[in-house]
Amino acid sequence: MVRRKPAILPGNEELLLNYCLDLAQEWGDFWLKPIQDRLGKAYPHLTPQELDHHNEIAQAAMKYGYDLVYSMAESEGKDVSQSIWQANYSARYPWVDKRNLSHLFSTGNYYAMKDGVGR
């Protein structure tokens, strides 16, 4: 379920970025798809350049989260520490909220285990 879109006010960039990351992680037909169309419908005042910029940030944050879980599973085995993962991840993306952190970790861990990494 995608969260409700936040009001864009001065100083709410982190809320917008978390909304974008939430869109990027959406399951179903939108899984691993660019977010510009959905974001533009929610915020029609954003320019194409802003939509592209926010998509790039969200996709990079998502990929890094999944890749970090995968890498940690390869080196540490199947019992990846969420707290260590979160500390490493948050050093690069400190704006990501707890809800997105949890979603990134659980999805990354699911795919790492599904692929047999860390056995």
Please give the chain's pLDDT, 119 residues, in tens: 555 666 666 667 899 999 999 999 998 888 889 999 999 999 999 999 999 999 999 999 999 999 999 999 999 888 899 999 999 999 999 999 999 999 999 999 999 988 888 76
CB atoms within 10 A of CB 32: 11
CB atoms within 10 A of CB 41: 9
E strand segments, 1-119: none
